[in-house]
Structure 1
Amino acid sequence: MEAGKDKLYCGEHGFMEKGSRRIVCPLDPKHTVCEDKLHTHMLKCNAKEKPKPVYYVENINAGLFLTLFMFILLISMLLLLFILLLFTGLCLDVDEHVLSHSVLHQELKNPKNGDSAHKHLRQQVSSQWAHSVMW
């Protein structure tokens, strides 16, 4: 900075002419301010805390997440326990029915079809045949 007209010091060091001293800003120690202008500086300093919006409530969510998480965990465990108790009381003997069709026999004899293709062919013919019978 250059010193102004009829000034001995630049704007940064102009306080030395008047005899006031510079002090560290109480809000932000990265800059200094003239001691006699401290009150004015405190009103306009960029480091001062901004007012919070009216809807802001400090620590409104503190602890809520953990409480909610524990509640969901407890409900999940109870539900799992209920399902396990229900499952142990069930008899789960499932009958397997593989249906057949004349086209299936031809495709099963085809050497190009491997084990995976045979499995899918049986599934598809069973579901298609069962579907046509039911509807």
Structure 2
Amino acid sequence: MVAGKGKKYCGEHATMEEDGGGSRRIICPLDPKHTVTEDRLQKHLKKCNSREKPKPVRCSIDPSIDRSRSLSERSRTELESLLDKLKTDSVLSHPALHDELNNPKNGDSAHKHLKHFYCAGFSA
């Protein structure tokens, strides 16, 4: 990083600046290898690459199903077996899913994906 005009240090090392010149930079609590301005910490924590990532969704009908392969890569026998399971199993749900479906902060796109998991019998 390059130091700004009239600055002795770059943004990453601005904590060493004596006059500060603005919001104080602090070490990121998720990763001490970088800093963030104190007033933007909450926003940063939501998008920091070091935050805990959501776990992949598993098929609740059959957790052994390999979700990394698309339907077009599966044999007819595998597809028929999956369809049989879908026809016999009831739709699974979870209170957290209902909460998210009723959350007004979720937009149309989020609702579309949540309904897909609900209707397909997947649980988070």
TM-score by length of structure 1 reads: 0.33
Higher RCO (CA 8 Å, separation ≥ 6 residues): 2
Structure-2-length-normalised TM-score: 0.35
Greater C-alpha radius of gyration: 1
